[in-house]
Chain A
C-alpha cells in the first residue's frame, strides 16, 4: 500500500509548503508541549510526594486539638510511647523593634526534636536546632526581608522578646505559598508568653510521634483504636498516608486547571492543523485531478496526503515533546511555592509517549476530515478549471472520521481530566460549541439571503452577499475563528474568575484591615485607638464559638450512632457565630423574618414559643443541615446548651471581605457567652496601616491584625506566575489562530481577485473594491467572535460552577477587547491578503490561471 512512490510524491508535493505547514503545525507543537510538560510535572510531583511522604508530616503520626490536651488524653499519649515532640501554633502580631513595624505571623512554639523526618532548613544551618536552647526565634525569610531585620535583631511576640538566631528557609508541611500569607516564626515552647494562648484565643496544640521501627506501629490502625476518644475530646489526627492523600487532593485544582490548559491547547492545535490541511487540500485539488488523469488510483493519491499529515504529526509530536521537556524544566520552578515537596526534574516516559501519541493522533484525526475530499476528486477537474464536483451522497468514511474524532476527544478529555464526568463534560461542551457555531453559520447564510437588505448601499450589499454566495468562507471562518475565540476566552475568563475570587477587598468604604482576637474588655480601647488614628470603624462583631448539639430534636451524637443518617461536615464543625440587631449589606433574608432583638419580635410566631430565633445561611440550611423556618436547633456554646429556632434564612455574599456568619443570633442571647471581637477599619494608605498595626500590637499584644491588601498582593504574585504560563500558551494559540485565519482568507483570495478586477473593469473605484472586502470580513469577524464570546461566557461559567467550585466573575473588558481585536485582525489579514489586487491590470488577472 505504502510504496516508494507515495513517499516520494509526499515529499515532492510538500515543496514550497513545508515552512507554511510547519508554521501551522506550531499550534500542535505548543499543544503537545503543554501536555508533556503538565503530565510529566504531574508524574514527577506524584513521585516526589511518594518519596518524601514522611517529610510531609515530619513524623509518623500527630494529634491536634484547639485546647490543651485533657489529662485523659495525656495518659493515652504516655501509653503510646515512641519519641514525642510538642508544638503550639497561633496567629499573633510580631513586632520588630528595629523598624518599629508589625505583621501578623503564625507563631509555632516547639518542644522536642520535631521534625523527625526531613529537616527545618535555616540560615545559618545550625540555628535549626540551637534556637530551642534559649529565648531565640527563627523567622521566615520573607518577613525578615520585608522588615529589614537580620540575624541578631529581635522580635517581640506578645510580651516576650526573642533574639532572631536564624532565617527560616524551608519547613516540613508548609509550602512557600502558605508562608507568604502568614509567615512563620518558630520559638521554643518553654519561652512562650502563655497569655497569648489563654482561654478563648485561637491556638492549635499538637503532639508528634515517631515510633521505633521494631514496634511496627501502624498509625492508621491506631486511628481506629483512638476513634472514640478522639471524638469525645475533639482531637484531630494525622498520619503519613492521610497527609499524602490530602496533598494530592489539595493540588487537585491546580492540576485540574493545568490539565484544562493542556486540553484546550491541544484542541487549538487540532483546529490549527484541521484548518491548515483544509486550505492545503483546496490548493492541491488540481494536482490530485492531474494525478488521477495520468492514472493514479484514488487510494494512492489519498495516501500521499495522509503520509504528509502523519509526518506533520510526528514532527509536531517530537518538537512538542522537546519543547515540553524544556517547559518542564521551568514549570516546577514557577509553581514550586505551592508545593510541599521538592519536585526534581525527571524524564517521564509515560508523559512523553502520551504527548507524542496524542499529538500524532489529533493531527491525523483533524487532518483526515479535509483529506477525505482527496478521495473524491474527479479527474475531470483537470479538463475544466471551473469544474463543479458532483454532490456526493453521505460518505460513510466521513461519518467514520466524525465518530473517531468524537471518540478520541472523549477519551482524551477523560484521561486528561482524570474524572469521567468532568472529561465527558469537557468533550460534550466542545461538541455543543462546535454544533452551535455551525448552526449560527448556517443561520447566517440563510438569514443573509432571506432578509437581504436591498436598500443598503452597493458595497454593503455586496459585502453581505459574499457571506452566502457559492464558495463562501462563512462556515469555515465561523468555526475556526469562533472556536479559537471560544477556547482562548474561556481560559481568560476562568483565570479572571480564579483571580477575582481573591480580589475581595477593593471598593469604596470596604474594610482593608481586620483586627481580631479582641477580648470583650478590650473592644472599647481598640475602637478608641482606631478612632485616635483618625480611621473609621467600618464594622465590629462579637464572635462566639459553638457546636451543634441537636438539629430538629435529634442529637448529633445519636445521628453519628445511626448509620442510616448522613452526618456531614456541617454537623460536626465548630461554628463562629455572631449576634447583632441589624443585617449588613452582604446579607439578604430570603425566607422568614429577621428578628434583631430577642424578646421584641413583632408578628413572629416561632412555632415553639420562647426560643430565640436565629438566622441561618441559605446553602447551609438547604444543602447541609436540611432545616427550614420553625425547626429547632440546639447549640453547645462552650458547655452551655442554647436552644434556638430557625427564624429566617438569608443569602450571604461571601465574596465581601467582611466577617460573615453561618448563624446569626439576635441581640439579647449570647452577650454573656465567652467571646472574642473583631474590629474592621479602612486605612487607605500603607503608612496609616503600619501605624495602626504598631499602635495596636503595643497596646494589646494578643490582638492580631490582618491586612487584606497584603493578601491581595501575594495572590497577585502567585497567580501572576500561573498567568505567565497561560498567557504564554494563549499567545501562541492566538498566533496560530491568525495563521489559520490567514490561510482561510488566502483560499478565497483568488476568487476575490477575479471579482475585484471585474468590478474594477466595470468602473468600481479602489475605495469601493476595498470597502466590499472589508465589509465581508467585518461581518465574519464580528459574528464569529461574538458567537465565540457568548459561548466562552457560558463555558467559563460552567467551569467555574462545576469544576472549580467558585462563583463566576464576569469580566466584560476582556470580552470587549477580544471582540475588537479578533474582528480587527480578521479585517486586517483579509485586506493584507488582498493587497496589490487593485494595482493589477484587468487583462493580466483575468487571463492568468488564478
Chain B
C-alpha cells in the first residue's frame, strides 16, 4: 500500500425513482482507498453494496457527490469516456462470471487488451491463463468449463490490462466452498503480484477477513470502516444469514 489515493469517494448519494417515491440507496457516503490496499464492502441485502461498487467503477453516475478514480473525477464524464477509464484502470470480477459465451477462454481474456488496440493481446492472455491454471483450456468455450474454471478465466480477463484497481462483486458467491477458496487464493495472489488495489463486495466473511479493511454498509450508509478484527468490526449475527 502506498500513500497515494487511487479511489476517492466523496459524499456520494444515489437515489432511484420507484413509482411516485424516491428511493435513496446510498446516502452521503465518503471514503478513500489507497493504491495497493485491499478493501471489502459488506452489509445486508439492500444495503447498497453493489450500487456503491457500480458507482466506484464508473458503471453508473451518482445523483450527487464525486468519485475520483486514479485522480480522474468520473462524475462529469460521458458514458464513453467512463468506458475508456474502465478499460485503462479497472478490472472486474462478477458473481456470475459474465464471460462472453461465444468467445473461447483465450478470446475472453484478450478482449480488454484488444479494445486498446494491443496486438500482443494473445501472448499476455495465454500467460494469464497459465497463471490461473488453465493453460490447457485456452480454446474452450464458457459452456465447456466448470463454474470455478469460468471464474478463473474471468480473473485472468480482469488482470489483462494490468489495472490499477480490481472490483470484485461476490466473486465466490456462485461457487462451492472448495472452489471458492481456490478462487479466493488466486485473487489475492494475482493482486499481490500485480500490485493492484482490490475492492471486494461480499457476504463471505472469510473472504472479507482476508482484506486489510472492511467497510460496513447498512441502509445506504457506512456504519463502520475498520481493519478485520478491530473492535468496531464486530459482525452482527444477521450478516451470517447469507444469501444473495
In the complex, whether A294 has a CB less than 8 A from a CB of chain B is yes
CB distance B98 to A295 under 8 Å?
A: no
* Binary flags per residue of A358-401, CB closer than 8 Å to B gives 1, else 0: 00000000000000000000111011110000000000000000
Q: A5-B115, A294-B87, A294-B157 are in contact. Are A287 and B54 (CB under 8 A)?
A: no
CB distance A298 to B80 under 8 Å?
A: yes
CB distance A382 to B102 under 8 Å?
A: no
Q: Once the chains are docked, how many angstroms separate the CA of A88 from the CA of B85?
A: 91
In the complex, whether A15 has a CB less than 8 A from a CB of chain B is yes
Interface centre among B50, B83, B86, B88 (most CB of A within 10 A): B83
Considering the complex, give the chain A residue whose CB is closest to the CB of B169.
Answer: A383
Q: Once the chains are docked, how many angstroms separate the CA of A441 from the CA of B99?
A: 37
Q: Once the chains are docked, how many angstroms separate the CA of A3 from the CA of B114?
A: 11
CB distance A16 to B83 under 8 Å?
A: no
Chain A contacts for B98, CB-based, 8 A: 286, 289-290, 293, 382
- Those of B65-86 within 8 Å (CB) of chain A: 79-80, 83-86
Considering the complex, give the chain B residue whose CB is closest to the CB of A385.
Answer: B96
Considering the complex, give the chain A residue whose CB is closest to the CB of B84.
Answer: A295
Chain B contacts for A9, CB-based, 8 A: 111
Considering the complex, give the chain A residue whose CB is closest to the CB of B96.
Answer: A849
- Those of B26-55 within 8 Å (CB) of chain A: 50, 53-54
CB distance B100 to A13 under 8 Å?
A: yes
CB distance A296 to B115 under 8 Å?
A: yes
In the complex, whether A580 has a CB less than 8 A from a CB of chain B is no
Q: A293-B86, A298-B79, A383-B54 are in contact. Are A8 and B114 (CB under 8 A)?
A: yes
* Binary flags per residue of A298-309, CB closer than 8 Å to B gives 1, else 0: 111000000000
CB distance A295 to B112 under 8 Å?
A: yes
In the complex, whether B103 has a CB less than 8 A from a CB of chain A is yes
In the complex, whether A297 has a CB less than 8 A from a CB of chain B is yes
Chain B contacts for A5, CB-based, 8 A: 114-115, 117
In the complex, whether A291 has a CB less than 8 A from a CB of chain B is yes
Q: Once the chains are docked, how many angstroms separate the CA of A286 from the CA of B37?
A: 30
CB distance A295 to B87 under 8 Å?
A: yes
CB distance B102 to A383 under 8 Å?
A: no
Chain B contacts for A296, CB-based, 8 A: 83, 87, 111, 115
Q: A287-B102, A383-B169 are in contact. Are A292 and B114 (CB under 8 A)?
A: no
A294 → B minimal CB distance (Å): 5
In the complex, whether A14 has a CB less than 8 A from a CB of chain B is yes
CB distance B94 to A383 under 8 Å?
A: yes
Q: A287-B100, A383-B59 are in contact. Are A299 and B80 (CB under 8 A)?
A: yes
Chain A contacts for B92, CB-based, 8 A: 293-294, 382
B52 → A minimal CB distance (Å): 11
Chain A contacts for B83, CB-based, 8 A: 292, 295-298, 379
Which of A15, A295, A298 has a CB less than 8 Å from the CB of B115? Answer: A295
Chain B contacts for A215, CB-based, 8 A: none
- Those of B101-131 within 8 Å (CB) of chain A: 101-103, 107, 111-112, 114-117
In the complex, whether B10 has a CB less than 8 A from a CB of chain A is no
CB distance A384 to B50 under 8 Å?
A: yes
Q: A383-B50, A383-B54, A385-B96 are in contact. Are A293 and B102 (CB under 8 A)?
A: no
A97 → B minimal CB distance (Å): 79
Considering the complex, give the chain B residue whose CB is closest to the CB of A14.
Answer: B102
CB distance B115 to A294 under 8 Å?
A: yes
In the complex, whether A12 has a CB less than 8 A from a CB of chain B is yes
In the complex, whether B60 has a CB less than 8 A from a CB of chain A is yes
Q: Once the chains are docked, how many angstroms separate the CA of A615 from the CA of B61?
A: 83
Interface centre among A8, A292, A379 (most CB of B within 10 A): A379
A9 → B minimal CB distance (Å): 8
Q: Once the chains are docked, how many angstroms separate the CA of A351 from the CA of B85?
A: 50
Which of B86, B101, B102 has a CB less than 8 Å from the CB of A294? Answer: B86
Chain A contacts for B114, CB-based, 8 A: 5, 8
The total of chain B residues at the interface (CB under 8 A) is 34
Q: Once the chains are docked, how many angstroms separate the CA of A384 from the CA of B169?
A: 10
CB distance B80 to A379 under 8 Å?
A: no
Considering the complex, give the chain A residue whose CB is closest to the CB of B157.
Answer: A294
Considering the complex, give the chain B residue whose CB is closest to the CB of A13.
Answer: B102
CB distance A291 to B100 under 8 Å?
A: yes
Q: Once the chains are docked, how many angstroms separate the CA of A296 from the CA of B92?
A: 14
CB distance A16 to B50 under 8 Å?
A: no
* Binary flags per residue of A6-34, CB closer than 8 Å to B gives 1, else 0: 00110011111100000000000000000
B109 → A minimal CB distance (Å): 10
Q: Once the chains are docked, how many angstroms separate the CA of A290 from the CA of B169?
A: 14
Q: Once the chains are docked, how many angstroms separate the CA of A520 from the CA of B239?
A: 112
B77 → A minimal CB distance (Å): 12
Q: Once the chains are docked, how many angstroms separate the CA of A596 from the CA of B96?
A: 91
A402 → B minimal CB distance (Å): 24
Chain B contacts for A16, CB-based, 8 A: 101-102
- Those of A253-309 within 8 Å (CB) of chain B: 286-287, 289-300
B51 → A minimal CB distance (Å): 9
Chain B contacts for A17, CB-based, 8 A: 102
Which of A286, A291, A379, A385 has a CB less than 8 Å from the CB of B111? Answer: A291
Chain B contacts for A8, CB-based, 8 A: 114
Interface centre among B96, B99, B115 (most CB of A within 10 A): B115
Chain A contacts for B111, CB-based, 8 A: 9, 291, 294, 296
CB distance A378 to B102 under 8 Å?
A: no
Chain B contacts for A849, CB-based, 8 A: 96
Q: Once the chains are docked, how many angstroms separate the CA of A298 from the CA of B112?
A: 14
CB distance B54 to A380 under 8 Å?
A: yes
Q: Once the chains are docked, how many angstroms separate the CA of A297 from the CA of B157?
A: 18
Chain B contacts for A298, CB-based, 8 A: 79-80, 83
CB distance B59 to A380 under 8 Å?
A: yes
CB distance B94 to A382 under 8 Å?
A: yes
Chain B contacts for A380, CB-based, 8 A: 54, 59-60
CB distance B84 to A287 under 8 Å?
A: no
B243 → A minimal CB distance (Å): 12
Q: Once the chains are docked, how many angstroms separate the CA of A295 from the CA of B94?
A: 15
CB distance B59 to A297 under 8 Å?
A: no
CB distance B117 to A3 under 8 Å?
A: yes
Q: Once the chains are docked, how many angstroms separate the CA of A796 from the CA of B115?
A: 53
B145 → A minimal CB distance (Å): 14
B194 → A minimal CB distance (Å): 16
CB distance B112 to A379 under 8 Å?
A: no
Interface centre among A9, A17, A383 (most CB of B within 10 A): A383
Interface centre among B59, B107, B116 (most CB of A within 10 A): B59
Chain A contacts for B53, CB-based, 8 A: 383
Considering the complex, give the chain A residue whose CB is closest to the CB of B111.
Answer: A294
CB distance B103 to A379 under 8 Å?
A: no
Q: Once the chains are docked, how many angstroms separate the CA of A287 from the CA of B142?
A: 13
Which of B50, B103, B116 has a CB less than 8 Å from the CB of A12? Answer: B103
B140 → A minimal CB distance (Å): 13
Chain B contacts for A287, CB-based, 8 A: 100-102
Q: Once the chains are docked, how many angstroms separate the CA of A379 from the CA of B74?
A: 15
Q: Once the chains are docked, how many angstroms separate the CA of A5 from the CA of B98?
A: 20
Q: Once the chains are docked, how many angstroms separate the CA of A379 from the CA of B57?
A: 10
Chain A contacts for B54, CB-based, 8 A: 380, 383
Interface centre among A294, A296, A298 (most CB of B within 10 A): A294
A12 → B minimal CB distance (Å): 5
Interface centre among B90, B102, B107 (most CB of A within 10 A): B102
Q: A12-B107, A295-B88 are in contact. Are A379 and B100 (CB under 8 A)?
A: no
A438 → B minimal CB distance (Å): 26
CB distance A295 to B96 under 8 Å?
A: no
Q: Once the chains are docked, how many angstroms separate the CA of A380 from the CA of B114?
A: 22
Considering the complex, give the chain B residue whose CB is closest to the CB of A847.
Answer: B174
B residues in contact (CB < 8 Å) with A: 50, 53-54, 57, 59-60, 79-80, 83-88, 90, 92, 94, 96, 98-103, 107, 111-112, 114-117, 157, 161, 169
- What are 11 A-B contacts defined by CB distance under 8 Å? A15-B103, A289-B98, A291-B111, A294-B86, A295-B83, A296-B111, A298-B80, A298-B83, A378-B60, A379-B59, A383-B169
Query: Which 5 A-B pairs have CB atoms at the shortest separation, nearest pair first?
Result: A295-B87, A15-B102, A297-B80, A379-B59, A294-B112
6 more contacts with CB within 8 A, not counting A383-B59, A385-B96, are: A293-B98, A295-B85, A297-B80, A379-B83, A379-B86, A380-B54
